Structure 1
Amino acid sequence: MLAVRQLAYKVNDLEAAAAAHHRAFGSGPFFVLRHVALASSQHRGIEQPFDHSSAYGQWGSVMVELVVQHNAEPSALHEMFPHGSGTEGLHHAALFVDDLEASIARFEREGAPLEQLSVTAGGTAFAFVDTRASLGHMLELYEPTPQLTGFYAMIAKAAEEWDGKELIRELG
């Protein structure tokens, strides 16, 4: 079974979105990583800059990511939310997969093409496949490396121990 590990929303302002999500759902705290460092990023097979910042928090048993893209270049985020439109909403659900390449190929065979493949400076690869026709949003796929699962565990533990203070916490 491919369980949803994260829901991610395109937002215009990380801090305002985190405060609103917390008020509505009790989520948090949110850990902000500004200008996520990438080693590479390809949109539809073409190398493109993907300058984005994200805030990560816990929403019950699921991580929530709030993401802002700073640059105007094409990306999976801009496929759903064109640069400058100001629109916000659910962009993707994230899944852990055993084999990223095989999973990308599987989704492509099932009519969900690869939109973007990026690799963080730390070596974590993530892929957005276009499942808008069937799900109304994209899926993000990545392999559950110790670094990634440790990050998820850190966010979940912070939520368990949270006293409701310091909603926004900077990473990096």
Structure 2
Amino acid sequence: MGHLPIRQVAYFCADVRAAARAHHALYGSGPFFVAANIPVARAVHRGVERLHDHSSAYGQWGDVMVEFVQQNNPGPSPFHDMYPEGSGRYGLHHVAVFVDDVDTALAEFAAQGAPTAMRAEMADGFVYAFADTTATLGHMTELYSPRPSLLGFYAMIADAAREGAPERDLITTIRLR
């Protein structure tokens, strides 16, 4: 697999806005950009096509992006794989890495004992996936290719952190396509 630096650390939570505010208060991270009900065209979890309705808050935490994610619909998901539905448990869910090709990387992870938990596609063709690395690492690993729109999004988050934001602008709502 080569060297895959961590690009993002993500936590599963009940409320992305509350988690972002708490993280900011403790670590000074942010500002945060919240995307509600992120549109996923197709998601296959553990071999079954499923609804994957989630919301995320994205901010910068030092040199890495931090994400807080909540699941908006009931049912199986890579989030509920680690934190069972109704358990009230939340915490670190995944780290994200850039790969040249998501499907090739999924096959490589599977060959090393980390099966695919989910592969999802956005309406614009953007693909992301979760390799189940919980047995060896204690969390999932999210994979996606660093296409220009993604790199631009990462740059926007990092630039906002460098510029700083007044407390009243800690959280901005955005729309992902």
- TM-score band, normalised by shorter chain: over 0.9
Please list every run of 5 or more consecutive structure 2 residues that lacks an aligned counterpart in the other structure: none
Identify the match of residue 78 of structure 1 among 69, 77, 80: 80
Please list every run of 5 or more consecutive structure 1 residues that lacks an aligned counterpart in the other structure: none
Secondary structure at the aligned position of 2:87 is classed as coil
Deviation sequence 1:60-89 (CA, Å, 0-9, x none):
010000000011121111100111212110
Partner of 1:102: 104
- Alpha-carbon distance in 2 for matches of 1:37, 1:157: 25
Identify the match of residue 49 of structure 2 among 47, 53, 76: 47
Contact 1:95 1:140 in 2 (8 A): yes
Secondary structure at the aligned position of 2:42 is classed as strand
- Alpha-carbon distance in 1 for matches of 2:37, 2:82: 20
Q: How far did 1:16 drift?
A: 1.2
Contact 2:16 2:57 in 1 (8 A): yes
Amino acid in structure 2 at the alignment position of 1:113: P
TM-score (norm 1): 0.97
Aligned length: 172
Amino acid in structure 1 at the alignment position of 2:37: H
Answering whether residue 122 of structure 2 is matched by residue 123 of structure 1, we say no
Contact 1:50 1:73 in 2 (8 A): no
Amino acid in structure 2 at the alignment position of 1:122: D
Contact 1:36 1:51 in 2 (8 A): yes
Give 1:2-151 correspondences, 5 Å limit: 2-151=4-153
Secondary structure at the aligned position of 1:158 is classed as helix
- Alpha-carbon distance in 1 for matches of 2:32, 2:88: 22
Deviation sequence 1:32-59 (CA, Å, 0-9, x none):
0000001100001111001100000000
Amino acid in structure 2 at the alignment position of 1:161: E
Percent identity, aligned pairs only, is: 53
- Alpha-carbon distance in 1 for matches of 2:121, 2:87: 27
Answering whether residue 174 of structure 2 is matched by residue 171 of structure 1, we say yes
Q: 155-164 or 135-144: which moved more? A: 155-164
Amino acid in structure 1 at the alignment position of 2:35: L
TM-score (norm 2): 0.95
Amino acid in structure 2 at the alignment position of 1:147: S
Query: Aligned-residue CA RMSD in angstroms?
Result: 0.8
Secondary structure at the aligned position of 2:165 is classed as coil
Amino acid in structure 2 at the alignment position of 1:153: A
Q: 133-142 or 162-171: which moved more? A: 162-171
- Alpha-carbon distance in 2 for matches of 1:11, 1:25: 17
